[in-house]
Amino acid sequence: MDLGLIIGYCASICSVASFVPQAIKIVRSGDTSAISTWMYLLTVTGFALWTWFGFLRGEIPIILTNATCFVLSALILAMKLRSAFSNRRHKLRKDA
């Protein structure tokens, strides 16, 4: 295994390890109020593009890292959107 691949796998581990605790906390608490919908939409798009790039280049570390982070960030975005729509619906009922 060459040095570049070792560095790629180490970077993958660091990236996923830094993202997982936040995802776990949000999934457990269900509290998405402190995160920006637009930022997570951009994040999900970025992870999707990096994953695609990894496939185009045949780079396993890029694919694994970004596919994992894509799934986690998409889950968080889905929770954020569900919460936003639920709050909006609740507010509309309250105002009616």
26 CB-near residues (< 8 Å, 6+ apart): 32, 35, 76, 79
pLDDT band (50, 70, 90) for residue 3? very high
Q: Tell me the residue length of the chain.
A: 96
In the numeric block, which tokens belong to residue 74? Answer: 């998409």
72 in Cβ contact with 24 (< 8 Å): no
pLDDT at 77: 93
pLDDT digits (tens, 9 = 90+) for 22-52: 889 988 998 988 889 999 999 999 999 999 9
Indicate the domain borders of the chain. Answer: 3-95
Q: What is the CATH number of domain 3-95?
A: 1.20.1280.290
